[in-house]
Amino acid sequence: MEKSKTAFKAGRPYDIIKRRKEAGYVRSGLSGGKETDMTEKEKMLRGELYRTSDPELVAEHRRALRLCREYNDIDPMDDAEMDRVIRELVNVEGKQVTVKQPIRFDYGCHTYFGENVFINYGVNILDVCDVRLGDNVLLGPNVQIIAATHPTDPKIRLMGLECGKPVTIGANVWLGAGVTVCPGVTIGENTTIGAGSVVTKDIPANCVAVGNPCRVLKKV
């Protein structure tokens, strides 16, 4: 009888990862059965296991912390300075963007805003993978968009390895107050997500969805 893929003995960290790769659970740097030479950042953006302690990632995270603090300390009446700093922190592809203080980003450089994005107070975006907000997206207060996740296998978690999945919010979407969007989720255009919802799976376009877990309530 073929042994279960999940049945493996405890061993050294390298041996654990090797067995997980052979079982098809880990894709870290594999190409045609061979290891590829990727940086930790490249692994992170591909949704593969990576180490947050990597010096390049540490430097980019500290940059985001500095810019978030700078943004949060700006006089809220100084629109020009707020616009300058938010464009330094994230990728703003449109001419108009409004982001209320305070803000928190993991990296900032992996987040993309379309035209006329409006973000209310207290946004929290963990952008270890790409986070994309389309044109005319509205975020209510205290919205969380979480691209970061962790292995469910505790042995791998204890090795200090993390991973992520990209998040995409379509054009004209409204996320109500306190919405949490989980890793790997895509929300289709024109959709409304009710306040307090936890979005764990993709939500289609042109609907209203609510709840924990978030489910489609009606089409619009």
The catalytic residues are 150
Sheet (strand 174-175) strand order: 97-99, 117-119, 138-139, 174-175, 192-193, 207-210, 215-219
Sequence-distant (≥ 6) Cβ neighbours of residue 148 within 8 angstroms: 106, 126, 128, 162, 164, 183
Q: Which residue has the tokens 């005319």?
A: 136
Q: Which residues of 65-101 are buried (b: 16+ CB within 10 A; e: fewer)?
A: eebbeebeebeeeeeeebbebbeebbebeeeebebee
Q: Which residue has the tokens 């500095």?
A: 66
Q: Which residue has the tokens 């943004």?
A: 71
- Residues 178, 180: Cα–Cα separation, whole Å: 6
- Residues 30, 137: Cα–Cα separation, whole Å: 37
| Residue 42 vs residues 54, 163, 198, 201, 210: alpha-carbon distances, Å | 11, 11, 28, 25, 35
| Backbone phi and psi for residue 148, each to the nearest 5 degrees, phi listed first | -85, 140
The DSSP H or E segment spanning 216 is strand 215-219
